[in-house]
Amino acid sequence: MKNSVISRLYVTLIFTLFSVIIQAQVTGGTIKYKHTVYFEFENMPPDMPKSSETFTRLLFNSNEAIYEKDPDVKIETDANDNTPRMFRRMRERSSKTNYTNLEKSISIEQLNLFGKDFLISDSIENIKWKVSAGEQKVIAGYTCMKASYKDSLSNVVVFFTPQIPKKFGPDKYGGLPGIILEMQSAQTHIIAIDIKTDVPVIKIPSKGDKMNRRDFEKMRDEKMKEMRQMGGGRGGEVRVIRQ
């Protein structure tokens, strides 16, 4: 058993070093993803969809990355969509942009909340990943390795590829020795569907009121409390359906 483990680690190390050497010339690229969110709420109509799909992209170079809604994909509205109007509006407004700068160790999240745009600055989160060297899969033509992260709030599994040795990924995830091509949690599944190596133009988000993470979360929690009080204390009706 011990020799088997050592052999897998050795093969993984050789694969990683080989990939880094071969792909060292990759200075940037564009990765397109399919982003699926799963949800359920009380008194949900049986014919209502239990998931929502959007298409996103990650633009990156050696130092910066931006994850945003893919402007090249237009999703037509289905006349038979039984999703309540409130949830459709939430879905339309839920698109957010995440910018990362490794050299400055900062992240900026641009989102719309309560009909208002915000720019939320923070340091880059240091996620303590656990890499599973023996678990691999191929995504969009790239060999990927598994990594996971779990705490009291999150249980996240990702697959990253050392063939593109950049510490970026979809949403807020990154910090691995290769770009993340798939991410899974109870509520979310994000997977790469197209990869191009190029040198994209990355623009820092600039639309919205500037706040740091702590002040934004305090403001958000206060607003949510006010809304629950105005609604007679009803809240928390949306719940996870995938574990």
Has residue 21 got a pLDDT over 60?
A: no
Compare 31 and 88 and report the one with higher pLDDT.
31
Does 81 score more than 60 pLDDT?
A: no
Answer yes or no: is pLDDT of 28 > 70.
Answer: yes
Q: How confident is the model at residue 106 (pLDDT cuts 50, 70, 90)?
A: very high
Question: What mean pLDDT is reported for the chain?
Answer: 82
Whether the CB-CB separation of 40 and 50 falls below 8 Å is answered with: yes
Cross-strand pairs, 182: 159, 191
- Out of 19-33, 46-60, 135-149, pick the least confident: 19-33
User: Side chain identity at 202, as an amino acid letter?
Assistant: I
Q: For the chain, how are helix, strand and coil distributed in percent, rounded to 5? A: 20, 40, 40
- HSE of 228, CA atoms in CB hemisphere, 13 A: 11
Query: For the chain, what's the residue count?
Result: 243
Do 88 and 81 touch, CB atoms closer than 8 A? yes
The alpha carbon dihedral of 62, 68, 71, 76 has a sign of positive
User: What is the per-residue pLDDT across 142-182, written as a single tens digit (0 to 9) for each?
Assistant: 999 999 999 878 899 999 999 999 999 999 899 999 999 99
The domain limits of the chain are: 2-239
Residue 227's pLDDT band (boundaries 50, 70, 90)? confident
pLDDT reading at 239 higher than 90: no
Average pLDDT over residues 201-226: 92
Residues 6 or more apart from 49 whose CB is under 8 A from it? 81, 82, 83
Mean pLDDT of 93-104: 86
